[in-house]
Amino acid sequence: MTHAESALPAAPARVAALSYFFPAHNEEANLEGLVQEALAALPALADRFEIIAVDDGSRDRTPQIADRLAADNPDLVRVVHHPINLGYGAALRSGFRAARYELVAFTDGDRQFRVADLGRLTARLASADAPDAVVGFRIRRADPVIRRLYARVYKLANRTLFGLRVRDVDCACKLFRREALAGLRVESGGAFFSAELLIKARAAGRNVVEVGVDHYPRTAGSPTGAKPSVVWRAVRDFWGLRLRLWASRERALGRGSTIVG
């Protein structure tokens, strides 16, 4: 079940413990700034927290910078390394699996979201209806026109063929209760990961709600989401799941790797 909420920000709700992670592929220009931002913002949101950087086979200085930041902050920052680039979904899966606390949040590593805005998600999670997950939607999407066009088509396709009524499927600002992820399996290792996760969460009866978050232009590094190889992989995974659901819903929902251990 999915509910859209007001785009107006709510006062942050402090939580007992929070795992925050982000995938990073060739983000040497953004990595240190994002970790420092998280170190500054998260104490206001959680009594205890951890920051997990998932280096997805970067070929620049991302691995070295991440290791240095972890060494400088050994109680707060950890790194997961993929020796080769496995894809966006694989990086998210690694982040979920590395998380140790009962609430798990992520943004992307490109600094197009503010870590402090996770407070809007924790505030909604603390509401009386106690949702299983809170997913952001970008109030004003700060992306090139081609990315926005892809997003509109993708949203319509997910709504039409999966009944996924989420305003912004791939908004990389999400918060989950760990217990709500238990039993969910996701097959995609690419850009379809987020959609597949929400489709299967909905099928399992999880209560997913939405809140508006701000979105900022990328100021460093290069985006990869519109690369033909990334788009093709997402299309392949999209139709693979749709065909399997038509063939055997129960079998399709049980395919893939678990999100949490």
Strand 15-24 relative to strand 77-82, pairing: unpaired
- Residue 220 to residue 87: CA distance in whole angstroms: 20
What integer pLDDT is reported at residue 226 of this predicted model? Answer: 63
Instruction: Walk along the chain (261 residues) in steps of 10 and give the mean pLDDT of each run.
Output: 54 91 97 98 98 98 98 98 97 97 97 97 96 96 85 94 95 97 96 97 97 92 72 95 97 95 72
- Residue 78 to residue 66: CA distance in whole angstroms: 8
- Where does residue 200 fall: left (phi above 0), alpha (psi -120 to 50 degrees), or beta otherwise? alpha
Helix (H) or strand (E) holding 38: helix 31-41
DSSP structure class, residue 72 = H
Q: Is 235 helix (H, G, I), strand (E, B) or coil?
A: helix
Q: Which two three-digit tokens encode residue 241?
A: 């799941």
According to the 3-state scheme, what is the secondary structure of 92-133? HHHHHHHCCCCEEEEECCCCCCCHHHHHHHHHHHCCCCCCCE
CATH of domain 2-258: 3.90.550.10
pTM of this prediction? Answer: 0.92
- Residue written as token pair 């997961």: 80
Radius of gyration of the chain (CA): 17
* Residues whose CB is less than 8 angstroms from the CB of residue 120 and which lie 6 or more positions away in sequence, other chains included: 9, 10, 12, 136, 211, 212, 213
